[in-house]
Amino acid sequence: MTARLTEEQLDEILQRDFTSSFRRGYVKVKGFTMPKRFEELQDEIHNWDVRNEDIWICSFPKTGTTWTQEMIWMIVNNLDFDGGQVNLGIRSPFLEVSALYDFRQLKKDIPDFEVPPFLDDSLKFVKDRCKIGPQCIKSHLPWDLLPRELQASIKSPKIIYVTRNPKDTCISYFNHSRLMEGYRGDFNDFCELFLAEKCK
């Protein structure tokens, strides 16, 4: 099944209903719709120094990534339940989250607004975490936007890909977007964006 709306109609819905205080528009990158901030981080992600000892947990949003991150981190860390009390965003950092949630304007608008380092500058945070040992790294990027060393098999870390029934994924993503990302439209419009691969 494909979206029934034109590209222009879909872009209008995206700009109207999916722009929030931490997302300032969208761009096409290698055929994928991404938040505008991704352009700033694209080269650094493309040239990322991939390490064989890391584990990459890759998925489309709302497919079971968090469950998988938690399971993998626990297995890798010998069921360290005490260590497991630390925020999952620290234990299993989300590589490109700074491109999805750009808090720079909020920090200017709201005095004393503090953003956790793993959200504020996620690439720096992951690099710093890699200095202390092997990491479980989360990414929602499509294959074509992942680091070049992964795509070209120059490095070969473990990659765990998570998938889920598309209908369940769409409904879960709609609810997440309304709650967490400021989506203001209805489900029908969201479904059209989802089918056209414009949700990120």
Strands 158-162 and 55-59: parallel
* Cα 31 from Cα 114, distance rounded (Å): 34
> Quick check: is 176 catalytic?
no
- If you write DSSP's letter for every residue of 12-45 in order, what string do you get? HHHHHHS-BTTB--EEEETTEEEETTHHHHHHHH
User: CA angle at residue 177 from 159 to 180, to 5 degrees?
Assistant: 95
List strand residue ranges (DSSP E) for 80-156, in order: 136-139
User: Is the separation of the CB atoms in 102 and 115 below 8 Å?
Assistant: no
User: Is the separation of the CB atoms in 200 and 140 below 8 Å?
Assistant: yes
Q: Which residue out of 140, 169, 174, 181 is catalytically annotated?
A: 140
The structure tokens 């990491």 sit at 135
Where does residue 197 rank: exposed (0-12), middle (13-18), buried (19+ CB within 10 A)?
Answer: middle
Q: What positions carry a catalytic annotation? A: 140
